[in-house]
Each structure stands twice: as structure tokens, then as C-alpha cells.
Amino acid sequence: MSELHHTSLTALAAGLRARRFSSVELVRAFLARIDRHQGALNAFISVTGERALKEAQAADAALAAGAPGALLGVPIAHKDIFCTRGVRTTCGSRMLDNFVAPYDATVVAKLKAAGAVMLGKTNMDEFAMGSSNETSYYGAVRNPWNPQLVPGGSSGGSAAAVAARLVPGATATDTGGSIRQPAALCGITGIKPTYGRVSRYGMIAFASSLDQGGVLTNSAADAALMLREMAGFDPRDSTSVEREVPDYVAALEAPLTGLKVGLLKEFFEGLERENEARIREALRIYEGLGAKLTEVSLPNLPLSVPVYYVVAPAECSSNLARFDGVRFGHRCENPRDLRDLYCRSRGEGFGAEVKRRIMTGTYVLSAGYYDAYYLKAQRVRQLINADFIRAFQSVDVLIGPTTPTPAFEIGAKTADPITMYLNDIYTIGANLAGLPAASVPCGFVGALPVGLQVVGPHFSEARVLAVAHAFQRATDWHTRVPQGYA
Amino acid sequence: MALTREQLASIAALARLDLSAAEVPVYQQSLSSILEFVGALERVDTANVAPMAHPLPGLSQRLRPDEVTETDHHEEYQENAAQVAAGLYLVPKVIE
């Protein structure tokens, strides 16, 4: 049994199907690991053990009956941003500390329909606003590679849990890098699909023109399997795109011969020297696999962080207006009047970073400032988008770093929000342009993992995953396990 | 640009956020630095550039037939509310 947690999600699904082990055995093994390591990592907000065992029993019965389901009996975890019917869904916030979702997010329903068994809800930055998982009301998550360091954010709990092999795969969301940055900092694989590819129904909204659900796993092959089951049109999400989902698993082995890889000039600016060395080594591997490298420039890309910090707070201030202390969420004691009810419920329920973004957004949308900030940012966003479109006329994918540095210390960047925001400098562009992008481990700086980012044109998830998979066929960085989690 | 204490108070009021006396100078400082940071956008030439309305170019908002598709779950939904009575959400008196 000791080896099950080192088995890939894909192999676990096949092993269950072949009845080499049962879902109950598998779920017990992973729950035991969560129990053992949760204290050190704080990767989960809720662990739903009893429910998981019931689901596993049902999955075993279904497996015995030969029922379909690509993930039948496979344990997974959900980021606590996804609504799970009958299970507390906090979004990492005091505001939703007692919120029990009355329905399942489409992503949750689809993975359930594929047979996956939920082990729990993972920790995250409050309302997904953060790059270090330090803004969670439930405390910081620790990086399994070094407990003094952050796991990245906002999907830090999902990333730490997958890296520590507490669960073979987890859902996550990415508004400015929240899947790829923690994947890089924890040495695992993550993909943010094209905007509109995965339904946002039941995924608590942060910035609606940027938010997209995705996965964190230990390999591109596992990500392909989970994403295939999650993706697809949903009439309940007005931004969901009506377009067939290709079989990402079947497309994994596509050869890279002649693949045109763009090296983004701007991605190598501000990059730490050792990180750059790992990225350059990875690019040589791609050359060896038959890819052709060319340098491309996206001159407006350096503006993506300031654009993001207008657009995302603006949308967040509007989305989070729904938390009024009336219908759900935290309500203050003894309100004097309706206004006092709103102001105190929100003042008490939201944490510092969320308040900061709500106020930034309120300001940039307020009368007299809308044109100067919000509309201006959306115009510059158009320029960034045009840069990407131009680049993809000459290359198939863009490859570069996911983050400028490896994981940093807990507390190191909390004093200055701008320093924290700049951590997402390489990831935000894909969100602004709605592009699919993955991060895969490509080596170490000292004892810390480094992530390689692959960005593709709209709806090219199959290619992005195949490009990531080819790298993982040629290297073994994705099989490295942090010390203490063997 | 540096926000004054009064400006910060007015933003907080618009956002319906009650701030403690200790929070005000903290946000005054950090919002000012964020606004200065995003001020870099001012210098970008965007003449003749339309603001981006959707990350996927050319897509328009999908419409559906105006038919009732949802069923009534208000009792279940109200389980998450702090105060309800007779199927209604309770709030402090609004009209005297």
C-alpha cells in the first residue's frame, strides 16, 4: 500500500479499473497521509473523510458492475472556491466561514459524474486574492519543500497537497497566475485553460473577465485526464464557450518535430540568474526534441501587471458587492440600521488584502476616474492581446519562466503589496488575453523547484499539454518528491 | 498620487466597508502606492485603440429562450441567511 501515493492519477484510475486495489483502500491511504501531514502544511480547510469513504464504497460497487467513468474511484481535492453541495465552502474567508453551498459547481458535478471521490477542500488565499496563500483566514499554507516558505497562491493548498502526495490531483483557479505560480513554487504541473473552456458556474467569482478553472497534478498526462473530464460548454455560465472538448489524453503523444517555440524576450527580463539557467536548459531539451526556437517580443507585456491591478480590483469590487450580510455570509451583531449592517458585516468579514482590492476597484470605477483608470487599462489590455495574436502568427507556443524566483519566505512580501503583485509578472499576460498556459517543473535552484511556462493560442490546450508531456518524457523533474513526503 | 484621509474615507463609504481608525492610514498609504504604480498606464499611447470587452475576440453574449428552467429552492438557500422569517430575509427597519 505504501506506493499508492507515488502512483500517477492516470495509473490509479487504470489500477482501480483493473481491480488491483479498491477505491476504499486508496481513499484510506490518502486520508491517512492528509491526517499525518495536515498539521505541518495546513493545505486543507475541510477534510471530508466520512463522505469520501461512502463515495469510495459506491465507486467500488460501480467498478464491480463495470460502470463507466474515467475517474471512477479516484480521490481528488477541490479548491475551496468551488461550491460543493452540503459541504462548507469558505473561499478562504471569514465572510463564508459558515457557508454551506446549496449546489455543486459544474466542475464539481462533472468530476463527480466521472467518478472522482472528493477528499476535502483545499486552503487558498482569501477570495483567491494573493500570490502566497498568506491571505487565507485559515492561516498560511506551507511549502512542502521547505516549511518556512510559501507554496504560492492563490491555489496554494491544492498545490501543496499535490506536491506532498496527499492527493493525486486537485482543482484550482487562475485569475493572474493562481494555478501556474503555485505549481512552479511547489514543483508540480498545472494548467490554466482558455477563458471560457471550463465552466465558472459555482466557482466563486473574483474577476470575471480573467477567472478560469483548471487543475494541479503531478504530470501533464494527469492534467490532460482531469481537464478532459472538467472542460466543456455549460449553459449556466454565460461566458462558457460552445466548442467541443478534444481528447487531451489521446493528443499527448503528438511529436514536437518542427514545433515553433517562441522565446519571449520580455520573459527573461528581471529573471534571477539561476532560474534563467534552468529555463535555458529546458529550451535545449526542446531543441533536442525537434523544436525550432525563435526569439519574439511582446513590447506591451511589461504593462500587464499595472493593467491587471486596475481590471482585477474593478471586477472584484463589483463581484464582492453581493456580500451584504443579508442572504449569506458573515453578519455583524446588532446592526443599528441597514447601512451599518452592510458596512460592519463587510468590514468584519473581509480580510486586509480583499478590502484593499475592493477599495482599489471602487476608486478606479468611481465617477471621474473610470476613463482614466478602467477604460485606459482595457485599452492597454487590447494592446497586450494584439501582441500575443501577432506572436502566434509566427510561433506555435511561447515558452519561458513561470515566476521570476523560486518560493520565498512566509512574511517576506506581505508588507508591500506591489512587491507581492510583481510575482505574477510572467503569468498575468495569459489571463489578460484569455490564453491557455501550463507550468511544469524544470529543475531546481538550490533545493527549490523551478517552473517552466508554456503558453499557447486560444483553445490549444491539447498542444500545450503535449508540449509539457514531451518534456516530462525527456526529464524526471516532475517525479521528484519533497523530503519527508516519500 | 497620494490619497487624503478624506478621499480614503469616501472610497470606504462607497465600498460599504467599515474601517477601524488604525486601518485608515494603512490603506491610505497602500492604495496611494497602487495608484501610483498603475499610473504607468497613463503614459501609454492608446489613441485609436478600443477598450477590450472580452478576452476572446469576436464572441458575443449568448442568449437563451426566455423559459423557466430553475425550480424553487428558497428554503434551502435561506439556510445560509443569518435571519429569516416567513420565507423573508430580515434586515433592520428601513422605513420608519
| Chain A, nearest residue to B75 by Cα | A102
Q: What's residue A323's pLDDT?
A: 98
Mode of pairing for the β-strands spanning A397-401 and A260-264: parallel
Instruction: With beta carbons less than 8 A apart as the criterion, state whether A74 and A168 touch.
Output: yes
User: What are the residues whose beta carbons fall under 8 Å from the beta carbon of A334, sequence distance 6 or more?
Assistant: none
Residue in A264, A330, A331 with CA at minimum distance from that of residue A300: A264
pLDDT attached to residue A419: 86
Asked whether residue B50 is assigned to any structural domain, the reply reads: no
Of A102, A344, A417, the CB nearest to B34: A417
Q: Is the model's pLDDT at B96 over the cut of 80?
A: no
Helices (H), A18-117: 23-41, 49-64, 106-113
Nearest in space to A142 (alpha carbons), one of A409, A389, A351, A381: A409
Cell numbers placing A470: 514531451
| pLDDT per position as a tens digit, A24-73 | 999 999 999 999 999 999 999 999 999 999 999 999 999 999 999 999 99
Q: Could you read off the pLDDT of A313-362 as tens digits, one per residue?
A: 999 999 999 999 999 999 999 999 999 999 999 999 999 999 999 999 99
**How far is residue A426 from each of residues A275, A398, B60, measured CA to CA in Å?**
13, 12, 29
- The number of angstroms, rounded, from the C-alpha of A92 to the middle of its chain's C-alpha atoms is 15
Average pLDDT in the A2-28 region? 95
Name which of A155-164, A182-191, B71-80 the model is least confident about: B71-80
Query: Is residue B36 in some structural domain?
Result: yes
Number of domains in chain B: 1
Please answer yes or no on whether B52 and A381 come within 8 Å at the CB atom.
yes
Q: pLDDT grade, residue B94 (50/70/90)?
A: confident
Q: Which residues contact residue B58 at a Cβ distance below 8 angstroms, ignoring those fewer than 6 apart? A: none
Chain B residues 24-83 within an 8 A CB cutoff of chain A: 26-27, 30-31, 33-35, 37-42, 44, 46, 49-57, 59, 61-62, 64, 73, 76-83
Region A243-254: what's the mean pLDDT? 97
Domains of chain A: 4-258+457-479 (3.90.1300.10), 302-379 (no CATH)
pLDDT digits (tens, 9 = 90+) for A366-425: 999 999 999 999 999 999 999 999 999 999 999 999 999 999 999 999 888 888 888 899
Is A417 in contact with B44 (Cβ distance < 8 A)?
Answer: no
Q: How far apart are CA A307 and CA A38, in angstroms?
A: 37
For residue A47, what are the β-bridge partners? A120
Would you call A179 helix, strand, or coil by DSSP?
coil
- Is residue B68 in some structural domain? no
Domain range enclosing B31: 5-43
A chain contacts of residue B14, beta-carbon cutoff 8 Å: 362, 366
Residue A14, number of CB atoms within 10 A of its CB: 12
Pairwise CA distance, residues A467 & A441, whole Å: 13
Contact in structure between A468 and A253 (CB atoms under 8 Å): no
DSSP assignment of A7-20 equals S-HHHHHHHHHTTS
Is B74 a member of any domain? no
d(Cα A193, Cα A231) in Å, to the nearest integer?
9
Name the range with the highest mean pLDDT among A266-275, A394-403, B68-77.
A394-403
Mean pLDDT over all residues of chain A?
97
The C-alpha atoms of residue A190 and residue A145 are separated, in whole angstroms, by 17
Residue B87, domain member (yes or no): no
Asked whether residue B35 is assigned to any structural domain, the reply reads: yes
Whether residue A2 has pLDDT greater than 70: no
Amino acid, single-letter form, for residue A113: A
- Cα–Cα nearest to A276, from A262, A260, A265: A265
Tell which residue, A201, A455, A81, A159, has the closest CA to residue A304.
A455
What ipTM was predicted for this assembly?
Answer: 0.96
Query: In chain B, what are the helix, strand and coil shares in percent, each to the nearest 5?
Result: 40, 5, 60
What is the reported pLDDT for A1? Answer: 42
Neighbours of A354 (CB within 10 A): 29
Q: Is the pLDDT of residue A154 over 90?
A: yes
Residue B55: band (very low, low, confident or very high) from pLDDT cuts 50, 70, 90: confident
Task: Give me the mean pLDDT over the A242-262 stretch.
Answer: 96
Q: Report yes or no on B89 lying in a domain.
A: no
Helices within A130-263 (DSSP H only): 156-163, 180-186, 220-230
Give me the percent of chain A exceeding a pLDDT of 70.
100
Q: Is residue B9 part of a domain?
A: yes
